Structure 1
Amino acid sequence: MATYVLVPGADGRAWYWHRVVPELQARGHQVVAVDLPQDDSVGLAEYADAVVRAVGGRSDGLVLVAQSLAGFTAPLVCERLTVDGLVLVNAMVPVFGESAGQWWANTGQAAARSAKAVRDGRGPDPEFDLRVDFFHDVPPEVTEQALAQELGSPSATLFAQPWPLRGWPAVPTRFLQGRDDRFFPVEFQRRIVQERLGITLEETTGGHLSALGHPAELAEAICRPPVGGGRSPVAGH
């Protein structure tokens, strides 16, 4: 039995994971879904503090699951807690000294998103639309529930801070990527994950918000034993 610590992306609310939590619990696991600070003055350290507080005194079988922007936060938590594994989901993978604000241009995300839109028949450089980019494969009732709430937003301070780790933590790391993600296309992520972590991503069902759109499939992928028992990122990454 594992204790899965679910860290949301830019929205920052534990609610994002509400459809995955019962799926993991039904598989016999404990689950901690984290709420992140909604405060423009806080940065990476405070986000990591929030995860550590949510974990509390739990220490056995901890596995961090990090969605999207949480790829910047979860590795910092690995420096502070004994973690058995890290599962990145449609995540941003940073390198030393890079801020979340710089990541987009450094990785070529805009060009990758545009190319994906062309392949899908939506034309180049479409204007960002929450429903089209994020909620295209989420059930309508879940979409309306999400958009009826006050959406969270990431800290502006976090986006400006350089990522402080000189290397990826020595923790077995997996990367799950939705094959229908329109925001971070799978071909783009395959390149970034190989270049920055030296591991191979695992394709999963769904788009960028797979926890809302395909919770059972995502839970199954999270729990699935990795090939070879999991791999730590290669030295130098």
Structure 2
Amino acid sequence: MATYILVPGADGTAWYWHLVVPELRDRGHTVVTVDLPSDDSAGLDAFADAIVDAVRTTAPDPQGPVVLVAQSLGGFSAPLICDRVPVDRIVLVNAMVPRPGETAGDWWGVTGQAAARSAYAEAIGRGADAEFDPRTDFFHDVPADVTDEALAAPQAGPPAALFAQPWPLKAWPDLPTRFLQGRDDRFFPLEFQREVVRERLGIDVEVLPGGHLLALSRPREVAAELLKEA
């Protein structure tokens, strides 16, 4: 049996993974979820502490392989725990991949995300100047009831401090790493992610059907990929 540590993206809530969790637990695996800090002064260190605390509370003695899973912005914080928790491998999901010394605030311009999103919006008929809209960019393939539940919750957003702190690791953790990418992600388009991930991690993305919020739109498919790590 494996232990899965599921780190959310910019919304910072364990709820993001709530449809994936039973798919893993029903097969006997241990699942650790975490609500990340929302205080505006919380930076990467506070995020890492929150993840480690959740692991120590839920799985103080992890059994089997420990699989660290990070969604979107979680790509900046999740790797920081690898010298504090016995992680065996990492799975990134539509994630941001940082370089040493890069801030999450700088990542967007350095990678060219805005231009990539604009080009993709034009390619699918929305127009190159399409304004960002959560329902259109994030929830376009998420069931309506799940979307309504997500948007009815308080929308705190990630702390400002998180975007200002340089990524402190000297290199990506020396662990087997996979990258799951939504084919129809409108926020981090597929071809954009292929280039960024190949350049920064030296691996190819594995394409799944769905958009940016795969754990909400395709939870069974995501769980099936994670179960390959057990």
TM-score if structure 2 supplies the norm length? 0.95
1:49 aligns with 2:49: yes
Question: Conserved in 2, the CA contact under 8 Å of 1:204 and 1:221?
Answer: no
Cα distance, 1:28 vs structure 2:
2.7
Letter in 1 for 2:209: T
- Look up the SS of the partner of 2:169 in the other structure: coil
Cα distance, 1:219 vs structure 2:
0.7
- Look up the SS of the partner of 2:73 in the other structure: helix
RMSD: 1.2
- Once the two structures are overlaid, the 10-residue window that deviates more, 64-73 or 117-126, is 117-126
Counterparts of 2:156 and 2:176 in 1: how far apart (Å)? 30
Alignment correspondent of 2:215: 211
% same residue: 65
**Structure 1 residue ranges without an equivalent (≥5):** 227-237
Cα distance, 1:172 vs structure 2:
1.0
Counterparts of 2:62 and 2:107 in 1: how far apart (Å)? 32
Letter in 1 for 2:191: E
Alignment correspondent of 1:231: none
Counterparts of 1:142 and 1:117 in 2: how far apart (Å)? 24
**Structure 2 residue ranges without an equivalent (≥5):** none
Counterparts of 1:59 and 1:25 in 2: how far apart (Å)? 14
Alignment correspondent of 2:198: 194
Question: Conserved in 1, the CA contact under 8 Å of 2:7 and 2:14?
Answer: yes
Letter in 1 for 2:222: L
Question: Conserved in 2, the CA contact under 8 Å of 1:113 and 1:125?
Answer: no
* Alignment match of 1:108 (pick from 112, 117, 121): 112
Alignment correspondent of 2:28: 28
Cα distance, 1:62 vs structure 2:
1.4
Tell me how many residue pairs correspond in the alignment.
226
Question: Conserved in 2, the CA contact under 8 Å of 1:87 and 1:174?
Answer: yes
Question: Conserved in 2, the CA contact under 8 Å of 1:84 and 1:172?
Answer: yes
* Alignment match of 1:223 (pick from 214, 221, 227): 227
TM-score if structure 1 supplies the norm length? 0.93
Cα distance, 1:225 vs structure 2:
4.9
Cα distance, 1:170 vs structure 2:
0.8
Letter in 1 for 2:37: P
Alignment correspondent of 1:171: 175
Cα distance, 1:215 vs structure 2:
0.6
Counterparts of 2:20 and 2:214 in 1: how far apart (Å)? 9
Counterparts of 2:55 and 2:112 in 1: how far apart (Å)? 34
Cα distance, 1:34 vs structure 2:
0.8
Counterparts of 2:180 and 2:168 in 1: how far apart (Å)? 24
Question: Conserved in 1, the CA contact under 8 Å of 2:183 and 2:207?
Answer: yes
- Once the two structures are overlaid, the 10-residue window that deviates more, 94-103 or 23-32, is 23-32
- Once the two structures are overlaid, the 10-residue window that deviates more, 199-208 or 127-136, is 199-208
Question: Conserved in 2, the CA contact under 8 Å of 1:10 and 1:152?
Answer: no
Counterparts of 2:106 and 2:36 in 1: how far apart (Å)? 21
Counterparts of 1:125 and 1:94 in 2: how far apart (Å)? 27
Counterparts of 1:115 and 1:23 in 2: how far apart (Å)? 36
Letter in 2 for 1:221: E
